[in-house]
Amino acid sequence: MNIKNYITVDFPSVSANEAFARAAAAAFASQLDPTLEELGDIRTAVSEAVTNAIVHAYPSEIGRIRLRMRILNEETLDITVRDWGAGIADVQRAMQPMYTTGGDERSGMGFTIMQSFTDALHVRSRPGRGTSVTMRRHILRRNRG
């Protein structure tokens, strides 16, 4: 795997930083010359991952979230959103559509949305130790200078 570029950003789990993470992801991904649709998909997937960390990893405290993005082999965007919060006891169950631990106001569609807007999704979690969500999105190569 050939890493062409990367960023790592840590920020507190406050809701205002969801928009920051979305914008940072779009800015970093722009070097791959994505279409507006691809860029929107990336923003949406990152938004869902960061929102999950804010709402579920740190339900009663402010914690740390890490956004790491890498460009692999010149055309694959690798995105990891990591927290050190509550963790997920049953990842398979949590990934089922409509499952949520966030109460009636949550849709339970976060992982489903992430899967829909990326080419690959991998979730690792340990209760009490946090969760790592890694997504990959291939950006079609166009005329790049």
Q: In this predicted model, what pLDDT tens digit does every residue of 35-45 receive, in sequence order?
A: 999 999 999 99
Averaged pLDDT for residues 117-124: 96
Q: pLDDT category, 19, cuts 50, 70, 90?
A: very high
Catalytic-residue membership of 106: yes
User: Domain-by-domain residue ranges, the chain?
Assistant: 3-138
Q: pLDDT category, 102, cuts 50, 70, 90?
A: low
- HSE value, Cβ hemisphere, 13 Å, CA-based, for 139: 28
Q: Domain 3-138 belongs to what topology?
A: Heat Shock Protein 90 (3.30.565)
Cut 0.85: pTM above it = yes
Q: Give per-residue burial for 104-125: e unless 16+ CB within 10 Å, then b.
A: eebeeebbbbbbebbeebebeb
Per annotation, catalytic residue among 22, 38, 43, 52: 52
Cα–Cα distance measured from residue 141 to residue 97, given in angstroms and rounded to the nearest whole number: 32
Cα–Cα distance measured from residue 5 to residue 74, given in angstroms and rounded to the nearest whole number: 9
Catalytic-residue membership of 52: yes
Per annotation, catalytic residue among 17, 22, 48, 82: 48
Catalytic-residue membership of 48: yes
Per annotation, catalytic residue among 66, 68, 106, 136: 106
